[in-house]
Structure 1
Amino acid sequence: MDNRKASSQGLENPPLSRLFIIGPKSLTEEDFRKHFEEYGTIEELWMVKDKGTGDYKGITYIKFSKTSEAAQALEMMNGASLANSSRRIKVMIASSREQGSKRDLNEEEKAQRLFIMCAKSVNEDDLHDYFRQFGELEYVSIIRDKGSGESKGIAYVKFFKFSSAAKAYEECDRKYKPVFAEPRRTEPSFRKAEPRDFPRGNFSNDYSGNTGTVRNLVSSSLAASSSGISEGYTKLTVIASPELNQDQLWKLFDIVPGMDYCQIRYEGGSSRPSRAVGEVVYTSSQWAAHAKEKLHGFEYPPGYRLIVKPDFEGRPDVPESSRKDLLSIAETLAQATSIIEAARLNPASLLNLGNGGHQPNCSVELPDPKPLVHIDEETVARCFVICSPYPLPNPVLRDLFCRFGGLIEVYMLANRNCGYAKYNNQKSAMQAMQTLHGAEVNGVRLKVIKAEEQRKRQRMDAD
């Protein structure tokens, strides 16, 4: 039976056991099996090929027999180089069948958070003491009645790592009935928006995670009537964070009806751009003025405000055929963007994926690499690692921190530029801090300090 058809007959069982891999087109099935079979039983390996030419498109799906196997493969192989290729692979959890290609920005949380059943007499400390055997916990939260404060007999347990959550899912007492929790939805409810209600000055986190939500809230009302503003221009210049991409720019300004086309460019150097500059054109000056009024000052992404200025040169003379080409390019960029966003990559961090297995470009002299110790060895010392402005790939981090001996593992926290390095002795951890603190690696500045012995347990309301 065709592997693709076999997988499409139902959802992944067990959950989150299928990986999505982006890599060089020169890789073969043998290359993937050689490196990934080390982590468990591969039930399916599907290399996506062009229907017309039959050429491999650089995208592969690997289905494991256990969630924990997929988790180990993801954490160890993400950013690795296969078959002496100069390009590194990107590994992520594949979208579920019913989800399709749609991804939430906080979807990675699903791989780290369990929803469990528990006795109403159990408290957070009891659950923390039990589940910490499977890995480091970020928090434990029992759902309580808002009125009485009594436990409802259900709770969330969130780990720092996918592999820890997978181990807990498979090995914890069955009385907890664990399932991987869906990503939290923080979008508030609204009455139907009117143009005068469109918020100004602050694009809050509730909106910034999903531009589609904003579109649904306001596009129907904006299509019905405009603000009546008309100032004689149809083109806008948008100055924004360098993290803004073409697809996001399109979705933001397409909220206002009448957008003809948009294009984005980056200034300040290709390796580390200082800002994004967008050009957005509307079919009428009325809608262009309305977009300027409503989107100027929005915070997107969080921490960066959009600057929207009118361009009085008017609408450029763009032939209809060129406009269609631009739309086609925009669609292609949107598809590429969805992959980059799903991978949680900063555009600048893509440069580090091409390291090719060579020694990292470090501002300080490094000792020779030493082998990692076994993952089950006791953690005696931990370093807290901060990467600025973006996280380094896992293989680069391992290459750096293994050079002092006794390294158990090093990892970044999900969706953050900080993480931990664990050692089986104090001397190695001290040497790592003394050598790497303040160093610059592949353009990334490191801060390496002693981690707190006991992380403060967080109490979170997970309504």
Structure 2
Amino acid sequence: MSTWNQMLRNDERKEDKPPHSRIFVVCGKQSKEEDLRPPFEQFGTIEDIYLPKDRATGEPKGVAYIKYNKTSSAALAIQELHLKTLRSDSKPIKVMVAVNRNDANSSSEDRYTRLFIKVHKEATESEIKQHFFNFGYVESVHLQKDKFTEANKGFAYVHYKTFYDAAKAYEECDRKYRPMFATPKEELKRSRNSLEMDSFHSSNSPCRENHIERYHSRDDTRRDILNGVTLTKPFDFNRVNVKCYPPVPQRYIEQLFNVVPGMKNCQYTLDTYNGVCKVNITYETEKQAAFASERLNNFEFPSGEVLTVWPDKNPLNKAAAELSSIVNNFKNAIDAGSPNLVQLADAIAQASTLIKVVTCTPEISEELEYDVNYCSVPLPPPQPLANNNSRVVQRCFIVCKPQPPPSSVLRDVFCRFGDLIHVSTFPNKIFGFAKYASIKSAQEAIKCLNGAVVCGIRLKVMEADEKPTKSDDDHRINDDEQSDNRDNDIDRKRIRLIDRSE
């Protein structure tokens, strides 16, 4: 078997190179390779022909895959042989582009007739059309421009009438255009809909930058945001904390939160151990911070990363910011040549007041000690685990979507209600159990954590239906053994939970 055939049989095969150079032929069960090669070979060099067989019977399925070395060869074969007969005694064959599984849900012809190209900043639509008319009939050229400045963005779309013309342009146009086949419009719309959130308009593209750039570029988006900030009720904070799981680079966080006007500072830290990034963002006004906290919480990037955003009411952070402002103002006065003792005394008095407020408020210090910034709900302080040999009085059934957070995080969250014996999830599953030595602790965990977001992952926590059994008490078995001795009602509970969420 050739290397290409091995790739075909692999479910995880990569995209064809060049793109759309593999065709799918419905030819009948009697067709053989020697019947197909002569008529198809006249359109270009064939790399391989594969006729799949039924695994059970070994009989041909009546279809074939033909791989060309050029996209234009595949396009010409489709154009000339689709619904034609190879022999006088045979039925017409069907010839089409062989789609990968990722593209199976799309039937759009745009996928094969529209090119995405790079252009220089001074390029015009007429200049582009003149060049690309050399390869076939161009239906339209759309040069992307900034909505505010009308400046050329540096890329354009060229729409041909036929797949063959687009393929020729893809292969033969000036290499400075760096052509590629464009994603169909309806796929972009479907992706855009999945990213909508209240008062924000977004659209999907292969990169996170494109989503965020659309936020900045749309005039109606800016108007909605400004109106939203104006109508937002201010609170006593101008900073927000952000947690993202899995982590994303700092520039994407900055670009997203800069959608809300007034961002002054962005402090980014990466927690590689727990696989999250933590960000503290400062805005000019309390309204701006409140708007960002409300509207960007639970925002999901197109690649799956989820943001958890909550107000930063830490008085230490606020005091540090205000102290920095006081020092900067005094330095500016010195640089301007107008310092005096009154200004110095005033700066010292303000700094002393801030320090006293922070250091003389024990309840605030206690609150900060138990602030868990990776959880969307307030949690009580950590409590010691129950004895390893304690009897399991009640179990909590946990569902984590899209995947469980780290085990250390689960243990830290569920231990805060006391009497926790053990918490774990099943390998390669999204669910697990938390075992408690008291009903009160289990019920408090359910009440507090059901619906909470931990490390960007939403939890569903509910009481397990069955009564504890002897196997429940043997919590010392590892997770692999638990997966082999699974409870009879796990599937039933999973189905019920999924039904409730839909």
TM-score with structure 2 length normalisation? 0.36
Larger radius of gyration, structure 1 or 2?
Answer: 2
TM-score with structure 1 length normalisation? 0.39
More contact order relative to length (CA 8 Å, sep ≥ 6): 1
